Amino acid sequence: MRRLISWFVAPLVALVPALAHAEGVSGYSRGNAFIYFMAIAAVLVFGIHDTFHKKWMTWVGAVVIPVVLYLMLPDK
């Protein structure tokens, strides 16, 4: 069942940044891109926790990943 869910979630996660940048055509909204990027960060942090099961690694990832993704947002 997990494999089936991952087949549906993986393309969605892969397309989220494309959706965030596609809004630039009709008026880019940094707030919407921020929401998309934070959703990606939540999935990545959960993946780190689920893969490694190390509390310290999860906490470090929970701080580093959102900061890095926020810095990747284009200015506007």
Domain span including residue 68: 2-72
> What does the pLDDT read at residue 56?
92
Q: What's the number of domains the chain is made of? A: 1
In this prediction, residue 32 carries a pLDDT of 76
Phi first, then psi: give them for residue 74, nearest 5 degrees.
-75, 150
Residue 22 has pLDDT above 60, yes or no: no
Q: What angle do CA 75, 21, 74 make, to 5 degrees?
A: 15
pTM over 0.75? The answer is no
19 vs 36: CA distance, rounded Å: 8
What mean pLDDT comes out for the span 36-40? 88
At 64-73, the pLDDT tens digits run: 999 998 888 8
